[in-house]
Structure 1
């Protein structure tokens, strides 16, 4: 996916998010593959429903290479050919792709109980976590885990997290090109082990996050067999170690009466006075570490990229960060950074950290007059909705003001911009993740100016490790008053 076509200094320049790259050998090969359009499944006779149309693509591989190479750009083209509800074939499976605010809202709110979690498709990595639970079980677990996300608890996390982030950011090298993606990833991992586990990164924290990274690598591999030496095999071993390590740590976490996430959840009980089992707590922690890391990293990196691309916005955001004083960023100070808030939201719209939500149908159903069979894997394209012209003016333009009053284009429809999902599976950690992104960018704004090499043309990868090409090369220049 190509990144930019802009006029120098123009805040209204267009960001080429919707066009896939064409110059590489793999792009030329993919451009020659057949689409082979056809129906998903025949609608029942007499139902009055239509069959969903889509593309089969190459034998067995289908359109999966297109999806992995181009992400949202692929979804956009599928939507252009077939509309809000379409399907594509990949690696032996048919994927239903749902876009458009009405269709996305219908699936995620799930009023007729036709949809359940589809995350099991990617493997056992989220097993036991909230995204894999439905119904009463989901409600019970969510209420208990919510105790670690209340505002007073978030405030208690923020102090040590902000101090650690500011120290790390201040130590980055300056006046030469560095890759910011690995630096932000390491920073996020270190902050995560402190906040979630009260475990310094320099001790077992690094081992824990290395295991999480092995699971992430396995999620995106195409060889899904436990063959020694493969990412899938390494991921399975890493998850087993995490389950055993975290379950064994539960008694100590309960006893230490700490303010870290793990201790709080370990102590929480339901209305009957019953807590979660060590195995359940381990599964929830694995999902929390998997989900929080990448979403935070990708959102921070997208924001840093656009602030580097548009220095006038970088300076506007910096002025507010410098004006707030020298205290560590807290929730009150964060509310005063309205320019940064607009930039983060626009960055999430153009480069969403989680562009899809996975569901599966548990019974035959219909969606906008089209027949969806039971057992169908559904890719809910929440990220694509942020790029459709029926909801956004000039959707390929970087324009943070679209989120400001009185425009508020994000209110065009309840599901036109849902970066954290909606319905009962809405991201439970969105406030914590947002605060972490604000803290990282605020620390950078108060310490550096940054710019990318003039020759850099970013493309965004949608397979792990995802994010910008070449690790987002950037030159940091320390502000004079921070020497």
Structure 2
């Protein structure tokens, strides 16, 4: 494909143009990026360096590779990049006015209120609340030669999210209906046809949004009245020092987004960890020994820092498969990235998934090596944005501590109950057309431990 510039820089600015091989208008490299993101990213970096452009999902899109370019976008020192108009193009109709889709003063206002739902005391209450559900969910698993990890973990995390975040019990049929709605809403973000054709992703996503809105609105009056230790109650009750609270509409929007974020990203993280612990049984045994040494069937809040092995495996799994594979922004004024001219209106994407695989920053990047995060190595410290699974800047994930707490709580109980494995030559087929997940559901041999 021929090299072209995105736009000529202003005369006398000293800036360089962004170059790329855009391909066919509107389509460009969309299929290549979705089906082979790692190879496509490596080729783009070799040809054009850290800042390049091409057509992606119907938009002229600048892709920035490497931590230096990522920092320029995510830290956003001159407020040139906005989340809302960028994310809205992909998921706006389905996750309307979620915290990630707000910007600048409005985002800060909502974040200050929402932060009340993630205080240390709230996190402790969430952790206590989820422990019985983790145990019940894991005990219901049936050991055998073909146990699909992804499907079971997804069901477990949805059950935990609805229980801990909402404080309501759902029937299996209702839980399945809500689960299906979240799947349809997330998948709609990468639809090729971006208007409501019956049976296609976009239309399914719009229908899913209505299901989720009705669900939360139905439960909201009781939650306002009765309160509780769950996230839903926390958002209903949260108030800033100067008396600002969320409206009912705000609560519904934030709940839909928060439940999606907690449910899907945790599922991907736990599934990735399970895959590598099956491939590398020595790590699985190391983590199991660590959990056994704790001497507690259920992890408590004050024990979180004790499970250092799970920390290492979680960080390496987040590096290898970032649950949110790309972070888009929209330039709201002319700006620059690493000396390249970025005109107002440009969509800019930080490709988290592939940035974590750059050999320029990560030695032997395809190798599963949790020790790279150990205190004596800390390869992530080569640059503050070399490892960025939770984003950065003002929009850094507000639930990152909850996520780590939930992952550790689940894996601790899982390790004490089961051992799991895959055939020696098995490599999972990772589907990267939307949020990354195994095409085959990650089938493992699951064996219940005799002393469980």
Which aligned pairs between 1:157-196 and structure 2 lie closer than 5 A?
157-196=126-165
Residues 1:429 and 2:429 are matched in the alignment = no
Runs of 4+ in 1 over 4 A off after TM superposition: none
**Equivalences for 1:356-435 in 2 at 5 Å?**
356-435=326-405
Match of 2:213 in 1: 243
Partner of residue 108, structure 1: 74
Aligned residues: 448
Q: Whole-Å Cα distance in 2 between the matches of residues 384 and 91 of structure 1?
A: 18
Report the Cα distance in structure 2 between the residues aligned to 1:223 and 1:348, rounded to whole angstroms.
30
Shift of 1:374: 0.5
What is aligned with 1:19? none
Structure 2 counterpart of 1:335: 305
User: Do the aligned residues in 2 keep the contact of 1:84 with 1:100 (CA within 8 Å)?
Assistant: yes
* 2:287 corresponds to: 317
- Structure 2 equivalent of residue 39 of structure 1: 5
Report the Cα distance in structure 2 between the residues aligned to 1:205 and 1:397, rounded to whole angstroms. Answer: 37
Residues 199 and 205 in structure 1, CA contact (< 8 A), matched pair in contact too: no
Unaligned runs of 5+ in 1: 1-34
CA contact (8 A) 2:34 2:434 kept: no
Quick check: 1:95–1:377 contact (8 Å CA) kept in 2?
Answer: yes
- Unmatched 5+ residue regions in structure 2? none
Give the drift of 1:455.
Answer: 4.7
Distance of aligned partners of 1:72 and 1:432 in 2 relative to their CA distance in 1, 3 Å threshold: farther
Residue 436 of structure 1 aligns to a residue in which SS? Answer: helix
2:95 and 2:209 in contact (8 A); partners too: no
Equivalent of 1:95 in 40, 48, 61 = 61
1:429-477 deviation line (CA, Å, top 9, x unaligned): 1111111111222222111111113453212111247411311010011
Q: Deviations over 1:389-428 (max 9, x none)?
A: 3332222222111111121111111111121111110000
Q: Matched residues in 1 for 2:153 and 2:403: separation?
A: 14
SS in 1 for 2:171: helix
Partner of 2:23: 57
Structure 1 distance, partners of 2:386, 2:248, is: 39
> Aligned partners of 1:168 and 1:160: how far apart in 2?
14
Report the RMSD for the aligned CA atoms in angstroms: 1.7
Shift of residue 217, structure 1, vs aligned partner = 2.5
Q: CA deviation at 1:160?
A: 2.6
Distance 1:166 1:69 in 2: 37
The one of 80, 84, 87 aligned to 1:119 = 87
Alignment match of 1:210 (pick from 177, 180, 184) = 180
Q: Secondary structure at the match of 2:61?
A: strand
Once the two structures are TM-superposed, the CA of residue 48 in structure 1 deviates from its matched residue by: 1.8
Residue 67 of structure 2 corresponds to residue 67 of structure 1:
no
Shift of 1:97: 0.4
Distance 1:174 1:113 in 2: 52
Match of 1:143 in 2: 112
Q: Give 1:174 deviation, angstroms.
A: 1.5
Distance 1:275 1:125 in 2: 23
Deviations 1:194-228 (A, max 9, x none): 01111223264443333222212322221211122
1:231 aligns with 2:201: yes
- Offset of 1:59 from its aligned partner? 4.8
Closer, same or farther in 2 for the Cα pair 1:72/1:433, shift >3 Å?
farther
Match of 1:221 in 2: 191
Tell me how far 1:166 sits from its aligned partner.
1.9
* Residues 50, 69 of structure 2: 8 Å contact kept: yes
Query: How far apart in 2 are the matches of 1:355 and 1:232?
Result: 20
| TM-score normalised according to structure 2 size | 0.95
- TM-score normalized by the length of structure 1: 0.89
